[in-house]
Amino acid sequence: MQLFEFLNYDFMKNALLAVLIITPLFGMLGTLIVNHRMAFFSDALGHSAFTGMAIGVLFGIGNTSVSMMLFAVVFALLLNYIRHKNIVSSDTVISVFSSLSVAVGLAILSRNGNFSKYSALLVGDILSITGKEIIGLLVILVITVVFWCVAYNGLHSIGINQSLAKSKGIPVALLDNAFVVLVALIVMLSIRWVGILIINALLILPAAAARNIASNNREYHLFSVMISVFSGVLGLIMSYYLNVAAGPMLVLVASVIFFITFLARRLFHV
């Protein structure tokens, strides 16, 4: 069939497999990120990839994924600590740290005019993913589903009212930190394929769209995952035939769906 002609190429097959793993993962994660109003937080986290990579390059670590993950985990825990201190408006502080980490990363990576070597990190390249890396992503998906089954109720409760969650014996600090560490790891492991500039859109858009039309948690997750997978597959196919980068196409599809659900809510719900 004409439409699936792109599957004749191995790199497209791999890309499709990767999309089929990454998108449900992001659809799921996004639900709680939106619930907890952490859109800006996860954005800052994505930006910290620069610093993580720079640190790896600086210390000559062969696999910069390791340094990226380590830095992101530390960064996430720090941001989370700030988020819960009500001293300064937390979005301002997150913004400061986000800018700082981007600046440090760019400064180091652009030494001797070498930045073009790393610019692929900005938009990502899902077409370059290998079979081994796909299996890695699959493992993360499984871990996330298990984590969700164990921790979702608690995290959901914390997002709605922390004091109430605490009074119910839910381990607030533990779950909250475990969650941001998980987000940090997933963002860093997928950022090479998705890109710093659009990774947050993929986390937020499907959940935000699902929120417009869902009335309970089951619907919320189902819609979010469905919208995410649909945008991923359609975006990938469109990128092939239109000869555009896959990531941006995917975000475009998800954005259109967001606006459709937004209108649907206004028309039918109120």
Part of the chain binding other proteins (CB under 8 A), chosen from 64-72, 109-117, 128-136, 165-173:
165-173
Residue 166 binds other proteins, judged by CB under 8 A: yes
Binding letters toward other proteins, positions 133-152, x by CB under 8 A: ---------------xx--x
Nearer to other proteins, 95 or 157 (CB): 157
CB of 173 to other proteins, least distance (A): 11
Binding letters toward other proteins, positions 208-237, x by CB under 8 A: --xxx-xxxxxxxx----------------
Tell me, rounded to whole angstroms, the distance of Cα 192 from its chain centroid.
12
Among 161, 173, 174, 259, binds other proteins (CB under 8 A): 161
Binding to other proteins by residue 194, rule CB under 8 A?
Answer: no
Q: How far is the CB of 265 from other proteins (least distance, A)?
A: 7
Nearer to other proteins, 13 or 156 (CB): 156
Least Cβ distance, residue 174 to other proteins (angstroms)? 13
